[in-house]
A and B are shown apart, each in its own frame.
Chain A
Amino acid sequence: MTITPLTTVETIREKFPQAVVETTDFRDEQTIVLKPEALVPVCAYLQKRLQYNFLSTITAVDWLERVPRYDVVYQLLSLPNQSVLRLKIRVGEKGEEHPSVLTVTGIWPAANWYEREVYDLFGITFEGHPDLRRILMPMDWTTHPLRKDYPLSGFDLPEPHWGGQIPYDVDPGVGSQTLRTPEGRELNESRSKLNREQEPGTPRQ
């Protein structure tokens, strides 16, 4: 039997009747919405039995007002059958700061970096991930920029506002708190404390 997106959806509906929340078909693209706890068994089945051996990408979508708040989206591709499929799970209960999803790195090693990216930009954690660190943002970043409640221009930067780099004339070993420019201006002041008329980075009048 040839495997096409439509037959895949049928097979998953038959094999995992409890797992499927809904399936959608938009512009001939098949999407299966799964319950979060069923993700790993379904993925393993798709990879082993239905030859979905290529994970194109994992990403997330933040629906700010909705509960559960996030969609985690998996784009799958089957090289032997030239078939594509999209899986989706919905996570993030009200007030849950870091929703947790089970990792699929055991099924597709490619998931490693994609899950790190989703963690970095959305703050969704992946249980069982071998190396869940930030990947695109700096390591000492504290927020998750692709969330919808994150303003486009960013928040006021945390102290120190240059992101912890050692500027100018400071001995790196000491970790001095009073950092100054060569002209003697103190650097460790946040932008919010600056005079409103003053352009950040210019000397005080």
Chain B
Amino acid sequence: MQQQELETYSTIEDSEPIDERQRVDTMTINMGPQHPSTHGVLRLILTIEGETVVKAVPDIGFLHTGIEKTAESKSYHQALVLTDRMDYLAPLCNNLGYSLAVEKLLGIEDEINDKIKYARVLLTELQRIASHLVWLGTHALDLGAQSVFLYCFRERELILDVFEYVSGVRMMTSYICPGGLQADLPPGFDQKVRAFTDIFPARLQEYHDLLTNNQLWLERTKGIAVLDAQDAIAYGASGPVLRGSGVAWDTRKAFPYSGYEQFDFDIPVGSNGDVYDRYLVRMLEMEQSLNIVNQALEGMPTGRYRVANPKIAPPPKWQLTGSMEALIHHFKLYTEGYRPPKGEVFVRTESPKGELGFYIVSDGSARPYRMHVRAPSFANLEALPLMVEGRFLSDVVAAIGSIDIVLGEVDR
């Protein structure tokens, strides 16, 4: 009976004449900006032929907040808080990039001691894990694995607890600032971090158990949205997208900043450049970051948390009542700020999304003449059409998830 039905069905289909016009008919559909799987306000204009994407045109700018313009009217210290709002899933990494650029402009890189460097590395690596956790949760949610989302946010909360403990704020911390840190690491900080690092390896294994060998996950990600190494480089893709394509490039290794040369870690590299490889690269990166966090915690030196230079770092509060000079420095710093010499610097750092660059031009005044941000998500998104054109519509969701964009950074 069933066999018969099948046969009838197939004969009907075969007997129907194929309409040649329908075959080339394409349809243009709009995806986003209000779409949960575009991770923010990304709009894609997709031309589809049946289920296949023929053309994909990203439309960005819905979250354009003019951060580069605003920074020109702020002092160097004030512009720091703007950087938090770009990649809002990794504000500390943005703080670090900006601080390094300003320090280079001021020429005070040598004054930054190991304590500051270690604390910065520790916090940004925690931030990298937190950012990857949000990516993993939302990416898995997009592809239908809902429980991973809840687990990831559970672990991320522990990291945000650490940030709240050191800075008082969960997300927009502005904790890393030009000249050091905003405040000293509080007593009991290492226990807070240990609370996370002790449980995280087991939790990471849990995610691996849920996804890495899951047949459904493999079918949604293996061989999907492939970006080969040559295209990845040509389109300026960086971070896990570039490494997923098999290019072993990490700014932390190539141009070590903030003392990364003192830490021992590997760069996970993929081979096929598909969604699965990008997934695996980030999963392994979390392991490496955890490794760095442990090293930094064990080797944390003692010392000042800010440079001693009173022209750049404000004096401690208790000095203000007793020292005339401290009062003057404090007043000058908060009314005017500091004046770096004329010049320009471009500092590259490795944010969770890729190569984050700060280009700051100084005209000798107390405000940056121009601040440009090389946002990794911006370049990674530019390569998206290469990944999705010729693939199924449902793969677009997987591709967007796998490049891990943050629109606050794309649009700035």
Q: A residues engaging B (CB < 8 A)?
A: 26-27, 29, 31, 53-57, 59, 61-62, 73, 75, 77, 79, 82, 84, 86, 108-110, 112-113, 121, 134-138, 145-146, 150, 152
Partner of B345, one of A29, A56, A59: A29
Report Cα–Cα, A170/B60, bound state, in Å: 27
B233 touches A137 (CB 8 A): no
- Complex contacts, B68 vs chain A, CB 8 Å: 121, 146
Report Cα–Cα, A61/B362, bound state, in Å: 11
Distance in Å from the Cβ of A65 to the closest Cβ of chain B?
11
Q: Is B40 an interface residue (CB 8 A)?
A: no
B54-106 interface (Cβ within 8 A of A): 60-61, 64, 66, 68-70, 72-73, 104-105
A27 touches B104 (CB 8 A): yes
- A-B pairs under 8 A by CB, number: 85
Contacts A57-B374, A146-B69 given; does A26 touch B379 at CB 8 Å: no
Distance in Å from the Cβ of B216 to the closest Cβ of chain A?
34
B357 touches A26 (CB 8 A): no
Q: List 25 A-B contacts (CB under 8 A).
A: A27-B105, A29-B346, A31-B344, A57-B359, A57-B372, A61-B369, A82-B255, A84-B255, A84-B346, A108-B234, A108-B236, A109-B234, A110-B382, A112-B382, A113-B379, A134-B61, A136-B60, A136-B412, A137-B61, A137-B64, A138-B61, A146-B68, A146-B69, A150-B69, A152-B72
Report Cα–Cα, A73/B370, bound state, in Å: 12
- Complex contacts, A54 vs chain B, CB 8 Å: 233, 236
Q: Count B interface residues, CB 8 Å.
A: 38
Residue of B whose beta carbon sits closest to that of A141: B61
- Complex contacts, A121 vs chain B, CB 8 Å: 68
Distance in Å from the Cβ of A165 to the closest Cβ of chain B?
13
B247 touches A79 (CB 8 A): yes
Q: Is B254 an interface residue (CB 8 A)?
A: yes
B355 touches A56 (CB 8 A): yes
- Complex contacts, B382 vs chain A, CB 8 Å: 110, 112-113
- Complex contacts, A150 vs chain B, CB 8 Å: 69
Report Cα–Cα, A168/B149, bound state, in Å: 38
Known pairs A59-B370, A61-B369, A135-B61. 6 more at Cβ < 8 A? Answer: A27-B107, A56-B374, A57-B372, A75-B359, A86-B344, A137-B61
Report Cα–Cα, A110/B237, bound state, in Å: 8
Residue of B whose beta carbon sits closest to that of A86: B346
